Amino acid sequence: MASHLALYRKYRPATFGQVVGQNSITSALSSQIASGQISHAYLFTGTRGTGKTTCARIFARAICCLDPQNGEPCNRCAACRAALDGSALDITEIDAASNNGVDNIRELRQEAVYAPTELKYRVYIIDEVHMLSQGASNALLKILEEPPAHAVFILATTDPQKVLPTIQSRCQRYDFRRIPAEIMAAALEDIAQKDGFLLDHDAADILAAMGDGSMRDSISLLDRARGAAFHVTANVVTEALGLATEREIMAIFDAVLRCDAAGAVAAFTDCYMSGRDLITIFDDLLSLLRDIYLYKATGQTDYLLSRWRRQVPGLAGRCTAARLENCIEAIHYFLGRTTRTAAKRLDGEMCLIRMSLPDWNVPQPAVPPQDEPRQAAAPAQSPAAPTQASVPPASDDDGPPPWDDVPPPDAMPAFDTPAPPAPAQAPAPKRVQYDAPAAPAAGFDTLRRALDGKVNSAIKAYLGLAQTREADGGIYIEVPEESLIFMDKPEVLALIDEAGRSAGYAFAKVGKQQPRQAEDPLEQLSSRARTLGVPVRVK
């Protein structure tokens, strides 16, 4: 029983004319062969699946062909047939990823000095040449400096920066570019026609976009989709590859534009429970945002992905550039966390909620106070600033605070009048943090009211969960760590500090909540007794 042959192997190009998307390179190589101006070394670079190894094999057959046709191998003579079935002893392929030692290259050098046994040349195709060790690279450099007249070396790599510059200088370098999506889509439809199954144009566009410039990757994806149905449609491709459909992506993004966080999470949940890949969902959203942004900047659809081409003009009129930037930033933040967290679904939902907030990460303009009497009375409601003699409670066991505890210049005590000496007192008991959150300061409510209309709803919600501490005439606001993404911005911190000053504080600073330590009950009892003047001895 004959084994199944993968499509990318079955339809591998046999001539330069069949190579897709590399016309400039194939034309130059075939011209050299036709004119007989063959170099001793070539370097093919480029991303995977763009035709480097394929062109190397075609070139090897063409220079050894007994009847070349305009620089193309005939694929019918004895030399071509031997090269095609792998029986040609004078054409050697080496995988440098697994044969990267200096001994392997030394064996190649010893063999290359001998004349070819059957063909015109000895051809050595070294794939992934950047994987050679330092010693092996130096050994290869030696034979490239003084090559035999009958030897031709074809080096292929996906990372040319790791190839020695001295090796590159002795080779003719050809850079294989990523293949445009429309060219790959046409090639996929041609393969489907040759193999006897149907492939819709929309499905070919999706496969070409998924290939990201790699023809081999797109053909491999087509092989996966072909196994699901004889007629390969866009729905068949999305189901076979676990992609989100166009309708599902549009449902999520439409809810985001309507600022409907619940609807966006519900559409995302339906998509996630259908088995869609979570990362691919946000990659699709990012590509849609890219197209909308590009259309708003250029007003043209020439550079848009064909999958979103019809919807982009209508969507571009529903959102501003600032809104698009916020959504892109939220998705980038989520994608950056995927390698560091196991709760990917939760992070995805939080990302959609942030995208659905219309004013998230957008600086709000300052709103003049509307209630002048209440603003004027606000300082009176806040506690008075401490005098020079007041000293903040000591903290021996607490770690460093999340902010700099040095008060601003206007909160520092005056130095022109010396302060009276403080009476000698017994050392104050060590301050202990409690599990229960500290009660909000008296003037904190005034501070929060001063922020109405200046910050978004997320910041106001997190301020409601804050713990406060008054010291040095100012107020320190400790908020949950996850809220820092909203608050740790210069414009937001400036608004909070301004609101604190309007509430009567010398300054207002924001930091991360620190873990609290539970107080020993016995120590708590003795501390309260000493405060009341009751002598207590703890045994």
Nearest to 36 by CA among 121, 115, 143: 121
pLDDT digit string, tens, across residues 101-115: 899 999 999 999 999
Does residue 436 surpass a pLDDT of 50? no
On whether the pTM is more than 0.75, the answer is no
CA-based nearest residue to 486, from 352, 330, 283, 317: 330
Mean pLDDT to the nearest integer, 76-102:
90
Q: Does any domain span residue 511?
A: yes
CATH of the domain at 261: 1.20.272.10
Contact between 167 and 141 (Cβ < 8 Å): yes
Q: Tell me the pLDDT tens digit for each residue of 334-352.
A: 888 887 777 888 889 999 9
Note whether 29 and 168 are same-domain residues: yes
**Bigger pLDDT: 219 vs 300:** 219
The answer to whether position 323 is within a domain reads: yes
With a cut of 90, say whether residue 216 has pLDDT above it: yes
Question: pLDDT tens digit string along 484-510?
Answer: 777 778 888 888 888 888 888 888 888
72: CB partners within 8 A, 6+ apart:
15, 16, 17, 30, 62
Q: Region 115-123: what's the mean pLDDT?
A: 91
pLDDT reported for residue 539: 60
- Tens of pLDDT, residues 364-384: 455 555 544 444 444 444 444
- How far is the C-alpha of 212 from the C-alpha of 220, rounded, in Å? 13
Sheet holding 41-46, edge to edge: 91-95, 122-127, 151-157, 41-46, 172-176
pLDDT of 247 above 90: no
pLDDT digits (tens, 9 = 90+) for 438-455: 445 567 888 888 887 788
**Does one domain contain both 33 and 159?**
yes
Q: What is the pLDDT of residue 144?
A: 93
Query: pLDDT category, 456, cuts 50, 70, 90?
Result: confident
d(CA 16, CA 62): 10
Position 141 pLDDT exceeds 90 = yes
Are 205 and 333 found together in one domain?
Answer: no
What average pLDDT is seen over the chain?
Answer: 80
Q: Return the pLDDT at 137.
A: 93
Domain-terminating residue out of 148, 176, 204:
176
Residues 232, 262: one domain?
A: no
CA atoms lying within 13 Å on the CB side of residue 140: 34
Residue 289 within a domain: yes
Beta strands in 247-373 (DSSP E): none
Residue 38's CATH number: 3.40.50.300
If we measure between CA atoms, which residue out of 337, 335, 333, 325 comes closest to residue 363?
Answer: 325
Closest alpha carbon to 321 in 301, 351, 357, 295 = 295
Residue 392 lies in a domain: no
Burial (0-12, 13-18, 19+ Cβ within 10 Å), 64 = buried
What pLDDT score does 297 carry? 86
In DSSP notation, 244-260 reads PPHHHHHHHHHHHHTT-
Q: How many domains does the chain have?
A: 4
Minimum mean pLDDT among 191-200, 282-291, 471-480: which range?
471-480
- Where in the sequence is the domain holding 76, given as residue range(s)? 8-176
Nearest C-alpha neighbor of 503 from the set 375, 387, 410: 375
**Is pLDDT at 44 greater than 90 in this prediction?**
yes
Query: Residue 206 sits in a domain of what CATH number?
Result: 1.10.8.60
pLDDT at residue 528, rounded to an integer: 61
Residue whose entry in the numeric block shows the structure tokens 């199944």: 4
